[in-house]
Amino acid sequence: MKQTLMAATLGLAALTATQATAMDDVIVAFAGTEDLKNDAEYVFIHAFAESLSEHGVNVVVHPSNTMGKESDRFDQTSQGLIAVNIGNGGALMKASKWASTLFLPFLTSDEASFDRMVAESKGLDRINEEASRLGLRVAGFAMRGGSLGLFNTEKPVSTIDDVADMRLRAQNGDQVTFMSAWGAKPTVVSWAETPNALQTGVAVGHYNPPSTVVAAGQVELLNYFTPMNAGPVPKVIMLSDDWYSMLSDEERTWVDDAVAHGVAVNRAWAVEQAPYFEQVIVDGGIEITPLEEGERAKFVEASRAVWDQIVPAEDAAFIAKFAD
């Protein structure tokens, strides 16, 4: 009985908080900092807030994980305590198994091709069929800027053979699968532990765009970067489904328009800032070593050969129709 009463009390508190903040103070949370030069998530949030302010709506921003880390913010958004959360792809996959399909390596090469793929595949509809069961609505994606490539401390990488036996930091089991297909020796390391892994040799590199390395302050820890055009890095714009469903039709239009405006500003920023991030890593001492002719195709072939080990074969076949 006590547990039942406690659950009911917590549920009422969450509902009350949602009602109080519906379009009074819109709570937005994210992991990054309020930096319009370097933080893609905040670029979206700032434009989103500007759009809503035109309707007299106040947006309260909680940066730097002040509302909790990824899993905490995910749960609070699901409960309606946070209206808008910008999360990573791993958090999204807790809400939708199908979402993994959009994060396959070498699926798309840049932001424009990713957006086209999501639109043509009706990917958000597929994701939200599953995410709605957890009280979440995925409204879109904010891009980090630039395309995925390989950073390392050890040597220039210009061929797939150069990666053989290289100890790479993997974000999760999916990355272990495709990095192993390249011939590397990946190991799962949390992002928080990655600097220490690079300094101790537990890992000698990782798979990210320059924007991530700059934002994480890792430039001085790395020596080489190989552009692979393996795809952009989408951050996930999650809305509380409870919060969104309690808005009036007019208010939902305001929110939809604010999301669209934030995404448009973010995309323009991502394109404009990509050369800036590359220059920052070069100025910091990282050598950019392009792949030799024909070598990217080898990475693509090796990666796509294991897609069906990462997602169900039918999902891999479906999304391949919309890939680059």
pLDDT digits (tens, 9 = 90+) for 71-127: 999 999 999 999 999 999 888 999 999 999 999 999 999 999 999 999 999 999 999
- CA pair distance 28, 232, nearest whole angstrom: 23
Domain 2-146+233-274 and domain 149-231+278-320 have a common topology: yes
Contact yes or no for 209/277 (Cβ under 8 A): yes
Average pLDDT over the chain reads 92
Q: For tokens 């994210």, what's the residue?
A: 30
**pLDDT value at 198 more than 90:** yes
Q: For tokens 């759009």, what's the residue?
A: 51
Residue 42's Cβ-side half-sphere holds a number of Cα atoms within 13 Å equal to: 15
pLDDT category of residue 247 using cuts at 50, 70 and 90: very high
Q: Write down the pLDDT at residue 9.
A: 41
Where in the chain are the domains? 2-146+233-274, 149-231+278-320
Q: For tokens 């519906």, what's the residue?
A: 22
Average pLDDT over residues 15-33: 73
Helices (H), 205-312: 210-216, 241-245, 249-283, 295-304, 307-310
Q: Write down the pLDDT at residue 91.
A: 87
- Count H helices and E strands in the chain, helices first: 14, 11
- CA pair distance 8, 17, nearest whole angstrom: 14
- CA pair distance 201, 277, nearest whole angstrom: 25
Instruction: Give the 3-state secondary structure percentages of the chain, helix then strand then coil, rounded to 5.
Output: 55, 15, 30
Average pLDDT over residues 153-180: 97
CA-CA distances (angstroms) from residue 205 to 200, 202, 227, 318?
12, 9, 13, 32
Q: Write down the pLDDT at residue 324.
A: 84
**pLDDT value at 17 more than 60:** no
- CA pair distance 258, 255, nearest whole angstrom: 5
The CATH number of 149-231+278-320 is 3.40.190.170
Q: Write down the pLDDT at residue 22.
A: 61
Average pLDDT over residues 227-234: 95
- CA pair distance 179, 169, nearest whole angstrom: 9
Contact yes or no for 224/286 (Cβ under 8 A): yes
Provide the token pair at 123: 């990917």
- CA pair distance 110, 281, nearest whole angstrom: 20
Helix axes 111-121, 249-283, angle to 10 degrees: 150
Does CATH number 3.90.1150.10 belong to domain 2-146+233-274?
no
Residues 279-302 have pLDDT tens digits of 999 999 999 999 999 999 999 999
